[in-house]
Amino acid sequence: MAQIRHIVISNFRCIEKLEWFPSAGINCLIGPGDAGKSSVLDAIDYCLGARRTVQFNDADFHGLDVATPVTIAITIGDLSDALKSVDTYGQFVRSFDAATGAIDDEPEAGKETVLTVQLSVGSDLDPVWTLISDRAKAQGLSRNLTWGDRTRLSPTRIGALADHNLAWRRGSVLNRLTEEKADTSAALAGAARDARKAFGDLADAQLGETLKLVADTARELGIPAGDKLKAMLDAHSVSFSGGTVALHGENGVPLRALGVGSTRLLVAGLQRKAAQESSVLLVDELEHGLEPHRIIRLLGSIGAKELPPPIQAFVTTHSPVALRELRGDQLWVARKLPGAHKLDLVGTADPIQGTIRAHPEAFLSRSVLVCEGASEVGLVRGLDLYFTSCGNPSINAAGVALVDAGGVSKIYGRANVIRNLGFRAASLRDDDVQPDHAEEALFTLNGGSVFKWAPAQALEHAIFFGVSDAAVHQLLERAVELHGEELIGEHITAASQNALTLAACRGPVTPQARQTLATAAKWKKNAWFKTVTWMEDAARDIVGPDYQNANQDFRAMIDAIFQWCYSV
């Protein structure tokens, strides 16, 4: 079960330089769009795929720099005895030290024997595959893997059109399941009119083991293919070739007629059963065509929860469902840095894994604003809705994710995890209760931005002291609408120590009334706007429309928060 140990990509599309030591199991690339995740999968496919040629153009060169060749070098370990044979590739076998990542041209005892395949493309756009070895180069030797070995080591690529793998075509996963082969000529030489039925009868005997494996896999994955599959001539094929023999359900309908999600799910399951020589699977946008429960099933089918991992998979995703199902040691954050790309392993420490489970969307964004609680999230969401309705860009378009930390004591446990993984991050908190100052100092030292209300103020104080008199009354009436006059009146009486009533607060807005309403609004039990929805609606309907009438300090803080969001 050959596996990829080391990847070096240079001058390929958006990737100027990338060096990566992937894990043995699932390697899920995450991060914002256009970070080069799909290009990494393409690079693996182009370098190791069993193909005679690849169509390149100038756009495949980083920055259109055709003077600098595209190079993709992949080191493969866990080789079969045949691939490690001195007679076959003796001058090209190398050694790999998993502890240090060092690759040496001379095989050494105690280190893994590996081969390195390199794809180079120059300005003539002609791809050249070679095995890399300084020792062989010094002797003037040059060669590539044999076509048979390339076919066996070729990764299985599951794209939007995965039905290629549901016929016995060259390189398809069906040809890797067993050694069985179909003799199409035996049926086709009979009678063209009856060829489809005749071949189906013969193929049951020729491909019985493969058909049973596919049927069992489909049943395990909940795919409605029937219990008795058939290999019949595909009427859709216009020529009698390898693709003429395709999988059909028991009703005679080709399995390529399955939905996109079912096809991808079935091929992923089959790849695991075919993992003898090549155990590498490539899946771009694994959630494509799959409902959440089938995303979970797909990940389970390729061994997301198993140790040791059954296959090595390289996948990309923008699905929060997928992130919740995977461990931090299966997730890699793709980042584009000046002059190079970098893939950082998320890791499995408690704060990290908890943050992935609670806020997977943060790991799929460009920037993350970590809010102390639900009301801060609601405020920013509501103001964003209002500002967007006025023609301003949305923070969603800027790739900003909002995270509810669940309290000031947890805010930097979340924020430092996110910032340490290279995400652009900021925090938004109250100032009435202080966070751990050492954690906040570490956050700012690492480049995080901190937004907080005026000294000793909570969000409710900032709002009720910041908005106009008219908006104060509107917020009070919204609270009454949500909770009823009796409860709001009790809160006001308690917060003012019997000095004010609901009726009084409906009158002239005094500093005492603002203080009372702010204190009452954040009452621990039945707080007025302490959910995302309640605060979002209040911000969109009241605080936003009143924005130009608010005092300067309140506007300055909101301006600073949104300016940070837009400054990607």
Band (pLDDT 50/70/90 cuts) for residue 250 is confident
Domain range summary for the chain, segments of one domain joined by +: 3-22+51-153, 165-258, 365-568
Cβ atoms < 10 Å from Cβ of 138? 10
Q: Which of the residue ranges 98-107, 187-196, 249-258 would you say has the lowest mean pLDDT?
A: 187-196
pTM of the full structure: 0.82
Alpha-carbon torsion, ordered 445, 446, 449, 451, to 10 deg: -60
Strand blocks (E) in 112-154: 112-121, 127-131
SS3 labels along 500-538: CCHHHHCCCCCHHHHHHHHHHHCCCCCCCCCCHHHHHHH
Tens of pLDDT, residue by residue over 415-442, are: 999 999 999 999 999 999 999 999 999 9
Chain centre distance of CA 40 = 13
Encoded tokens for 18? 């990338």
3-state class of 391 per DSSP? coil
What is residue 455's predicted lDDT score, i.e. its pLDDT? 95
Residue 191 pLDDT > 50, yes or no?
Answer: no
The model's pLDDT over 474-499, given as tens digits with 9 standing for 90+, comes to 999 999 999 999 999 999 999 999 99
What average pLDDT does the structure give for the chain? 88
How far is it, in rounded angstroms, from Cα 108 to Cα 100?
14
97 membership: H or E segment, kind and range = strand 94-97
Q: How many Å apart are CA 405 and CA 416, to the nearest integer?
A: 11
